[in-house]
Structure 1
Amino acid sequence: MSDSRYALIISIASLLTVLVVAFYGINKNVKQDQYIERPKRPIAFTNAKTIPLPGKIDLAGEVVPLDIDDVKERLDKELHINSYWHNNTIFLFKRASRWFPIIEPILKENGIPDDFKYLALIESGLENVQSYAGAVGFWQILKSTGREYGLEINRDVDERYHPIKSTEAACKYFKRAFNKFGNWTLVAASYNRGMRGMQNALDHQKVDNYYDLMLNDETSRYVFRILAIKQIFETPEDYGLDISKEHLYQPYQYRFDTLRNSTDWVEYANEQKVTYKTLRIYNPWIQDDDIRVGRGEYYVVSLPK
């Protein structure tokens, strides 16, 4: 390579280097200037405030001893959790508007205090969910318990999902538990721990009420979760919730049909002029695409009115 050609290459390379450095230097200065001149934005905070405890509160007419420090603190915790868990608590109001009109009369007919409707809220949020232990439906009933209290559970039907029949089964449990304990607070706690578990804890610790028991975390919170939801439902505005009635879910309007023969549910839905999806929504106890109906048996099917 000639000396003149080599010198030309060196000159071009040097010029390119200078241009690149100048370009990035200008860009850097511009970015720095923009950063320096950019107005500072205020940090947004949610207005969170401590919530005062009610002067008194009861479960099914049984007064909660708020003079006991740990009792007061456990209620305090659940009130704050549910007050600031806005999306969950709002949807409890929405679904309760649809299902409480069905649940409340059944509790009343069976002599169960109205406060027990809140058990269904903390058990399932009034959704037909299934727990890791296999408990299902609004009342989170195990298969063995459901059968014990008269629910039909098989390939075709699972009445633990039936809003009326599952509530009636829960009432049978509540009445049996009250005959055992004579105390509604212990009845509520036993729905979580079981009657035998509650009795064993009472005997072992030599006390006679829920609030004096040392229990596992789940059962220790259980009654206070009920109390917190009850308090928030009774005076939602005191807990920062603006619940518009027009936004609540309305109860389903039903008509009923008695099914006495085995059938394919899709064909049945078409005959009833509804979709299969609607049929399943109105009858969550249906478990398969068809149903076998024995001689002398029948099923009452709910349909949109």
Structure 2
Amino acid sequence: KAAGLWQFIPSTAKQYGLEVNEYVDERYHPEKATAAACRYLKSAYSKYGNWESVAASYNGGMGRITKELSAQGVSSAYDLYLVDETARYIYRLLSMKLIMENPAKYGFRLSSDQLYQPIRTKTVTVNVPVEDWQTWALDHDINYMILREYNPWIRAKSLPNKTGKTYEVKIPLKEDLNRSTQQKSVYSKNWVID
């Protein structure tokens, strides 16, 4: 039942402040889910005091890692006997970190024009019910497909919003939707060979 960029299960998502229901699932909201993941990671770090146990708990759950640390009499997930998926998770994260820091060292050779560019957006606030997201999208000069692509947290064709909660809807800038008119930038010079 894990979902979204950070693979939260519904109960953990709600525990860390994300809305999850049939209309809205903020596990799919990149910014909100990332902030929730950071809260989880900080909480786990204050509990364990080392990042390897934090990473293991992210994959296997704090309850399970806490229980295994105690049962196996160690203080670090590096020293735990765990199921393969969780045991490998720590090393997969470390591997990705090393690759992202220096991709050329590991055989990734990209030119700057091969990188995907971030697509700039404008934000429209919604604090009323939306009867039909398709109509709403057309009223904002986009189509339903683009609305859903840039707002994956929208999970239904309407939004009852009985409480008047404010939602931020992202609308991509038209000039960024075509690669030829996008602004070009490179986040890290280590990622490219030119």
Which of the five TM-score ranges fits, normalised by the shorter chain?
Answer: 0.7 to 0.9
Q: TM-score, normalised by structure 1?
A: 0.55
Matched residue of 2:81: which SS?
Answer: coil
Alignment of 1:155-170 (within 5 A): 155-170=22-37
- Is 2:142 the partner of 1:142? no
Q: Which is helix-richer, 1 or 2?
A: 1
> Equivalent of 1:268, from 136, 146, 155?
136
Q: Aligned partners of 1:158 and 1:211: how far apart in 2?
A: 34
Measured in 2, the distance between the counterparts of 1:260 and 1:209 equals 46
| Partner residue in 2 for 1:188 | 55
How many equivalent residue pairs?
A: 172
1:210 — aligned with what? 77
Greater CA drift, 269-278 or 259-268: 259-268
Q: Which residue number corresponds to residue 281 of structure 1? A: 149
2:91 pairs, out of 224, 227, 234, with: 224
- 1:195 is displaced (CA, Å) by 1.2
Q: 1:238 aligns with which of 101, 105, 111?
A: 105
Residue correspondence of structure 1 range 1-150 to structure 2 within 5 A: 134-150=1-17
Cα deviation for residue 260 of structure 1 reads 2.0
Q: Distance in 2 between matches of 1:226 and 1:215?
A: 16
**Counterpart Cα distance in 1 of 2:72 and 2:129:** 54
Instruction: Find 1:300's aligned residue among 168, 185, 191.
Output: 168
What is the Cα-based RMSD across aligned positions, in Å?
A: 1.2
Determine which structure has greater relative contact order: mean sequence separation of CA pairs < 8 Å that are 6+ residues apart, divided by chain length: 2
For residue 145 of structure 1, give the secondary structure of its aligned residue in structure 2.
helix
Aligned residue identity for 1:269: A
Q: Distance in 2 between the 1:202 and 1:295 partners?
A: 43
Distance across 2 between alignment mates of 1:148 and 1:185: 22
Candidates 153, 157, 173, aligned match of 2:20 = 153
Report the equivalent of 1:290.
158
Q: Which runs of 4+ in 1 moved over 3 A?
A: none
Q: Match of 1:171?
A: 38
Deviation at 1:228, TM superposition (A): 1.1
Q: Tell me which amino acid in the other structure corresponds to 2:58.
A: Y
Q: Unpaired runs of 5+ in structure 2?
A: 174-194
1:298 to partner: Cα distance: 2.1
Give 1:286 deviation, angstroms: 0.4
Instruction: Confirm or deny: 8 A CA contact 2:129 2:164 kept in the other structure.
Output: no
1:114-145 deviation line (CA, Å, top 9, x unaligned):
xxxxxxxxxxxxxxxxxxxx111110010111
What is the TM-score when the length of structure 2 is the normalising length? 0.85
Which string of whole-angstrom CA distances, capped at 9 and with x for unpartnered residues, describes residues 239-290 of structure 1? 2221222111111201011112212101101110101111111100001111
